[in-house]
Copies of this chain bind each other. A is one copy, B any other.
């Protein structure tokens, strides 16, 4: 978490700094980002940066969290819009991610191509990292379970784990492979379809 000093900053100065950080993390992934670039761009002295943040990661995760919150919101709306059909909602959501633009897209690209567990952990909260999780319950309540071949909450939890693994991986492959939109979407659709019908007949 950023320090209190950061939140006490006059809005324009704070936004300026945030923008410089965003720019740097859109340029390169976390481990290659440099504080020097951020402060040069934001035109603040080195010491000031350390008044606001513990270090590079602190700034990064602050930005990441705000991204995640907004995507979380968006996902819940998407799920509602699709009347609780989790599969349609995922495809919808997947489309949103891979059609982001400009700086946001670069940020996401660096994010997904360098998805350490620590980062994944922050993101996965949207999908419910553990079964006591508030977000998981919210999602669970929205899901239409009528035609789901799922026995209990535990299976539902693991179903969500699987879906998010597959979704993450598809996003990574889209970003890595520079696949055209249609191809990426078809791949994802195929995999969701396979998940629905299952691998074993009978």
Using CB atoms and an 8 Å cutoff, list the residues of chain A in contact with chain B: 29, 31, 87, 112-118, 120-121, 147-150, 154-155, 158-159, 161-162, 165-166, 168-169, 172, 175-176, 187, 190-191, 194-202
Contact = CB atoms under 8 A, between A and B. Distances in A.
Contacts of A196: 198-200
Contact of A162 (B154, B175, B191): B191
Contacts of A175: 117
Chain A contact residues, majority secondary structure: helix
A197 B116 contact: no
Point out which of A117, A175, A196 has the most chain B C-beta atoms below 10 A from its C-beta.
Answer: A117
A88 to B, nearest CB: 12
Given A196-B198, A199-B196, A202-B147, A114 B113 contact: no
B200 A147 contact: yes
B159 A169 contact: no
Contact of A149 (B31, B117, B162, B197): B197
Nearest to A163: B199
Given A158-B190, A162-B166, A195-B198, A114 B116 contact: yes
